[in-house]
Every structure is written in structure tokens, then in C-alpha cells.
Structure 1
Amino acid sequence: MSTPILEIRDLHVKYGNVEALHGIGLTVNQGEIVTILGANGAGKSTTLRAISGLLKPSGGEIRFEGKPAHTVPAHERVKLGIAQSPEGRRVFGTLTVRENLMLGAFTRSDKAGIAESLAWAYRLFPVLEKRRDQLAGTLSGGEQQMLAIGRALMAKPRVLLLDEPSLGLAPLLVKAIFQAIREVNQTTGLTVLLVEQNARAALKLAHRGYVMEVGRMVLEDTAEALIADPKVQSAYLGGRK
């Protein structure tokens, strides 16, 4: 069996004296889309922030391609191949769309490759090319989300961490963004770890999923099995549909 591209072992994270993650475990294999479901405060975003290096674990391991990554600084994790599109988009409002995208490539020096990645981001989200000289702060919420994902992709990651990409967006925009994520995964084999409140959309997109409750992983299965699970239906899917 091949080594997972991303693996978490017995991970603990604290905010002061409050433990947010209680020894969780998770694996993501090359080319998979894996989603983490859970209520607000379950620890989903904390998990992603620990993986990307924005939070320091108080115990446990994060392994990337079989090697320890939890001791590697955040900017070095980007170089390793881990990029995050954060909750709330966090675009630089006073910079243009193109400038925001180029910031995503800050660890890269391959000019031809960067130009190729930029062209690809524009193909994936055509509206970004139309708005390339527009200030990011003047974009709609959906356009800012596309920009945040495009910026993360500019790092040419091996694993893309997506934190609540559908938050606050209209259903049509959610559909477009999820279609783009699927296209990236299918055409490039990019591995995706997705945190998403819209459980139904996430499970339709993902291959596998985990369910978190108050800092613990309580369930893991294929997306199909989770959709069919009565407990998941009741808690996250609004009953059977």
C-alpha cells in the first residue's frame, strides 16, 4: 500500500489552556478529494490551520509524503507543496486581481511555469482574467472566492486545503466553484482536503469524508456511505433526500 501524501497522527492543538483538537488522526491519499464535516466549533478549520503551519500543535505528528512536516515553518510548507485557500477568502483588497494571483507564486522562481499557472487560473475562472486589473476589494464575494482558490493554485501545490469555499455564496456560484475544484482534481490529479459546511455538496464532490465533533474524529467512510448514513443525514443533510 502506498504512503498517504498527507497524514495526521494523534494531533493535539490548544488555544491557551483550551484543547481544540484531542488527538485526531486523518489520512489523504494522492489524487483524492477528502472532506471534513462538522458543526461550527468542531475543529475543522483548526485542523487545516495546523496542517498549513498557522497553528503549532501541542502534540502529535503531521506527515507529508511520509516525512514530518509539523516542525517545518509555514512558508516552507508552501514550498513542500501544501497551499491553503482560507476561510473568509483573505484577498488583498488594495491589490489587483493579477497582483493577488502573483503573490500565490511567491515561493516560485520558474517564470515560464508561473506564466503557465496564471493562464491556467484564468482558464479555470474566466472572470478573473476579465477583472485582472481591478482591485480585489471591489470584486463580488464569489469572485473573491475564485481569486482565493486561484491564488492558492498559483503555488502549484501537491495538496490544496480549502476552508469553507461556499460560505456566503449563492447556490449557482457554489456549483461553479465546486465544478472547478472537480475539474482541477480530475485533470491534474491534485489532492484536495476540503472543509465545508455544505455537507451535501461536499460529499457529492469528495471521494471520502471524516466527521468531526468537538475536536475529535468520530466517523470516517466513503462519501457514498456517509451520504447513506442515517446519523449523517440527520445531523448534516437535513434528513434523507
Structure 2
Amino acid sequence: MFLEIKDLHVKYGNVEALHGINLHVNEGEIVSVLGANGAGKSTTLMSISGLVKASGGSIVFDGMELSKMPAHKIVAAGVAQVPEGRRVFGTLTVHENLKLGSFTNRDLAHIKQTEEWIYQLFPVLAQRRSQLAGTLSGGEQQMLAIGRALMAKPRILLLDEPSLGLAPILVKAIFKTLQEINQSGLTVVLVEQNARAALRLAHRGYVLEVGRVVLEDSAENLLANPDVQNAYLGGGGH
């Protein structure tokens, strides 16, 4: 098992956000995590990344227990997260933002090669490499946030709401690139409000409700599931 979460509990103060969730991700998969606001989707990603500490349970990535590791070591182990809201460094250029993503990598040739790959994936970033990130459009900032995560040469990429606030045409472009990234061999875990787009991209999915996994199935079956359609897809699939 590439990533396995077992009986994961997370608390914020006295409030338990995750009530013993179980999920797994196979190498090479795109797995989508669906649920309403407050279901625990972002908390799940942040606990994998080490940004939120588990109060119980285990998170094992390729044989390594992540739940007790500091966040920077988790990045070095091959896990990178694209946070909700993009969080690029607005006063730094595109190039400088990308360089910051490579802080775990000391191989300069490798860094250069990865940066060129990112510019191929997102040609608009190549055109704007000297531009301050804060002056980019929302879609360009999302591309930069994904690019910055890829600079760490992760083996698994965690994405939190990549379509948030973006026009449909940009969402389509970004999801197409995520498919390319996955086809290059990278495993992806996707938290996404746009459930239909997420399930069309994913191999499998999980549905969270109030900190619990209530459904797990293939993406195809979840798209066809009447309960999922009514709750997350605006009813009867269009």
C-alpha cells in the first residue's frame, strides 16, 4: 500500500475533527476526497503533510510512519501539498517561488530540469518567470502553487481545492494538466468542491461526512450513485 491511513483522529482543542478515518491510496492513482464544508477533507490532507498533528491512528507512506514526523521531513520523504487558497509568495517572482519549492533538493541540474518541465506544463509561467507572483491572475497563481509543489519532486501530490474561485475554462486546463502529471507517474490525492470534475479525473473516491468516511468506491460508481448525485452533483447527473 503506497499511502494508508488507519483509524486517524485529529482534534482542534477539545473538538474532534476526524473520528477515526481509514483510507488508502495505491501508487499511480488519483484519489478524490469529497464532502461538504467542515467534513474534514482539508484536515485529512494537512495531517498527511504534518501541518496538523494526529491525536490517534497512523499514516503510513511507502513504509514510513508520517504521523510523528515534522512537516519538512515529510516533504523530503516525497509528499507535497498545494494548499487551499494557493498561498504563493506575492512579493517574489514566479522563478523565486519555484526555487523555494526545491528547498529539499540539493541537485542543481535536477532543479533546473524540474523547473523546465514545469514551464512546459504551464507555458504561461515561463512567459511570466520574472513577474511578481502577487500580480498574476488567480489561475496563474494556482498553476504556480502546483509548480512550486512539483519542484520538491514529490511521489505523491496533495491538492486542496485547486478549482476554488477559477473560471470553468481554467479549471478544465488545470485538471487536464493534473491528468498529465499523473500520467508521468505521480500519485495524486485531490480535495475538491467541484465533485463532478474531481470524479471525472479520479480513479477512486471517498466521501467524508462530519469527520467520518461514509462511502468509498470507484470514481465511476460514485458519479452514478444517486446519493452522491443529490448531495454533491446537483442531482441526476447533467
Q: Is the TM value for this pair above 0.5? A: yes
Tell me the residue number matched to 1:220: 216
Show structure 1 runs of 4+ deviating over 2 A. none
Find the aligned partners of 2:155 and 2:64 in 1 and give their Cα distance: 14
Query: Which of 212, 229, 238 is matched with 2:225 structurally?
Result: 229
1:158: how far off? 0.4
1:22: how far off? 0.2
Query: Which of 52, 61, 64 is matched with 2:61 structurally?
Result: 64
Normalised TM-score (structure 1)? 0.98
Find the aligned partners of 2:21 and 2:167 in 1 and give their Cα distance: 33
Mapped pair 1:40 → 2:37: yes
Tell me the residue number matched to 1:191: 187
Mapped pair 1:174 → 2:171: yes
Find the aligned partners of 2:213 and 2:10 in 1 and give their Cα distance: 14
Counterpart amino acid of residue 14 in structure 1:
K
Query: Which of 136, 139, 150 is matched with 1:139 structurally?
Result: 136
Q: Percent identity?
A: 73
Find the aligned partners of 1:39 and 1:69 in 2 and give their Cα distance: 26
SS at 2:68's partner residue? coil
Counterpart amino acid of residue 7 in structure 2:
D
Normalised TM-score (structure 2)? 0.99
Q: Unmatched 5+ residue regions in structure 1? A: none
SS at 1:209's partner residue? strand
Counterpart amino acid of residue 106 in structure 1:
F
Pairwise CA RMSD: 0.5
Tell me the residue number matched to 1:125: 122
Q: Deviations 1:144-189 (Å, cap 9, x if unpaired)?
A: 0000000000000000000000000000000000000000111x21
Tell me the residue number matched to 1:8: 5
Find the aligned partners of 2:2 and 2:116 in 1 and give their Cα distance: 27
Find the aligned partners of 2:49 and 2:65 in 1 and give their Cα distance: 13
